[in-house]
Structure 1
Amino acid sequence: MRKFVLTVFAVSALALPVAPPAAAESLGTILFGRPLEPGLLVIVMRPSYHGDEDRIPSIYRYPSAETIARAQNEIASNPILREALERRNIQPHNVVAVQTAASGGKIVYAR
């Protein structure tokens, strides 16, 4: 009986497919998803009752009229940014600020 169990275990171990290294990338994509648009981060600000408002700078939590106007102008002049927001179902009038990251990407703050 013991030899039978060991034989079954050995055969089943040999029957498992060996994954090539490229499969690790697809596994990461399956687990974590693929970014919709590389270089674009959208932060949707919602009222929080747990005290995590400190993660978003106050100039974006309480934007001035000038900050909102600059964000609206940037969305109006950048069709790629506008299409990316439409794919995420974010209306352009809900965007309060657009920040350019050090890498050249955009960080969009929306309500």
Structure 2
Amino acid sequence: MRKIIPLTFAAAALALSAVPPASAAETVGTILFGHPMEPGIAVIMIKSGDRGGDRAPVIYRDPSAETRERAQAEIAANPVIKASLERRNIRPHNVLAIQTALDGSKIIYAR
């Protein structure tokens, strides 16, 4: 019995060492959560009545009419965003707002 436990740990260590190293393009985030559908586009779904916690700022949880109009105009002007919404089965009229991050990526708030 005393030999089984060390042999088990040795077998586990050998099995873990056989895993190939991650490529240079992968980060901890992509290893844990996978690759996004489109690089540079993130979608945050906001359910009705949901306060969203820290995921969505208040101005995007309850956007003004101007914010929604800007989002609709950006969807109409950007075919990449339109295609991304189609792949995710999100209708354009359900988009509440689109935020542009500092690196140029887009964050889409939809219901």
Please indicate, yes or no, whether the TM-score normalized by the shorter chain is above 0.5.
Answer: yes
RMSD, aligned CA: 3.3
Alignment of 1:1-111 (within 5 A): 9=7, 13=11, 16=15, 18-22=18-22, 31-48=32-49, 52-53=52-53, 55-111=55-111
Q: 1:18 to 1:80 in 2, by over 3 A?
A: same
The 3-state SS of whatever aligns with 1:82 is helix
Cα pair distance change 1:30/1:96, threshold 3 Å: same
Distance 2:83 2:37 in 1: 11
Per the alignment, in what secondary structure is the counterpart of residue 103 of structure 2?
coil
Q: Which has the larger radius of gyration?
A: 1
2:109 aligned partner, one-letter code? Y
Distance 1:70 1:30 in 2: 34
CA change 1:31–1:99 in 2 (3 A) is closer
Hey, which of these two has a bigger chunk of helix by percent? 1
SS of aligned partner of 1:107? strand
Unaligned ranges ≥5, structure 2: none
Aligned length: 105
Please report how far the alpha carbon of residue 52 of structure 1 lies from its aligned counterpart in structure 2 after TM superposition: 4.3
Q: Structure 1 residues 20, 72: closer, same or farther in 2, change over 3 A?
A: same
For structure 1, list consecutive stretches of 5 or more residues without a partner in the other structure: none
2:96 aligned partner, one-letter code: V
Deviations 1:12-57 (A, max 9, x none): 94x858233247x5xx8675322111111111111356x6445422
Identity in percent: 57
Amino acid in structure 1 at the alignment position of 2:103: S
Q: 1:55 to 1:18 in 2, by over 3 A?
A: closer
